[in-house]
Amino acid sequence: MIKLPEKIIDFHVHLFPDRLFDAIWKHFISDYGWDVLYHFYYRECVDHLRKNGIGTIAYSNYAHRKGMAKYLNEWNVKVLDEMPDLYCFAAYHPEDEDGPDMAASIVKHPKILGFKLQLLVQCFYPHDERLYPLYDIIMENGKWLLIHAGTGPVGNEFTGINHFKKLLKRYPDMHIIVPHMGALEYDEFGALLDDYPNIYLDTSYSFISHVKIGFLSSRLGTEFLEKYQDRILYGSDFPNLVFPREDEIKTLLSLNLSPSFYDKVFWKNGWEIITSHLQS
């Protein structure tokens, strides 16, 4: 019988200040018709995950508009200092004049893994020249970029594989995590792994067949998952889920992949990223 590690690492959690969570959930309902199951604020999120098999948590938030990143990152530092075994991808917005200075400062915090960009919401291209200072800081400090670049659950003019490839052309060696296995362009993002050894994918929303927001169970197949088990991270997208958190885990377990796949995806790969970050 396939078993998960005793404590797993969730590499895709969202934590926001309470009022921002309320605004985001209202936006989901008004714009997409999604009502998330878990209306939990940040302490409740962490408590729920801890009680349900999650050890280490890597969370993120993103600046929806100019001027928000500084506020979010000040909040992030307080949360990171408050809670153990918690790591963060910090917020950034290219229109902030103090953005590069802020990024260069917060990147020194020992629990900041890198930065999160959400192209669907933030509405800029990943190859926008205004982001180059951020990317240079990421590269110089050995950090990671967590970037929602795919077209799932819906896309816009700023998302998609072609724009992402323009980023890679300038920064081919950057450490990057692409959420949702690259959805909805699973095949296209998956095809990058051979040529770009520092690109990882996370599982969030990609292994649920009954989700109504447009994602499909991953088309990549079990052969792909086994081949690239070193480059995949378990992530839940908690608490912004429209299905029980456990459903995606059950789907992954039902694939009956190798024990090494579950060990690496649910724990080892994430732990190696965190420990290499702490040692740098």
pLDDT of residue 210: 65
What's the pTM? 0.96
Residues 117-149 pLDDT 10s: 999 999 999 999 999 999 999 999 999 999 999
Is 3.20.20.140 the CATH number for 8-279? yes
Instruction: Report the distance separating Cα 163 and Cα 128, nearest Å.
Output: 10
Query: Are 238 and 49 in contact, with CB atoms under 8 Å apart?
Result: yes
Query: Are 202 and 181 in contact, with CB atoms under 8 Å apart?
Result: yes
pLDDT of residue 277: 78
The residues facing 199 across adjacent strands are 176
pLDDT of residue 213: 38
pLDDT band at 212 (very low <50, low <70, confident <90, very high): very low
Residues written for the chain: 280
Question: What percentage of residues in the chain have a pLDDT greater than 70?
Answer: 96
pLDDT of residue 280: 65
pLDDT band at 214 (very low <50, low <70, confident <90, very high): very low
47-70 burial, b for 16+ CB within 10 Å, e for fewer? eebeeebbbbbbbbbbbbeeebbb
How far CA 261 is from CA of 2, 181, 218, 220, 267, in Å, comes to 10, 15, 16, 15, 10
Which residue, 217, 215, 166, is CA-closest to 192?
Answer: 166
**Residue ranges of domains in the chain:** 8-279
- At residue 213, the 3 state secondary structure works out as coil
Arithmetic mean of pLDDT, 55-80: 97
Rounded to a whole number of angstroms, the distance between the first and last alpha carbons of the chain is 38
Instruction: Report the distance separating Cα 176 and Cα 194, nearest Å.
Output: 14
Taking the mean position of all CA atoms in its chain, how far away is CA 144?
A: 10
Beta pairing class for 175-178 and 144-148: parallel
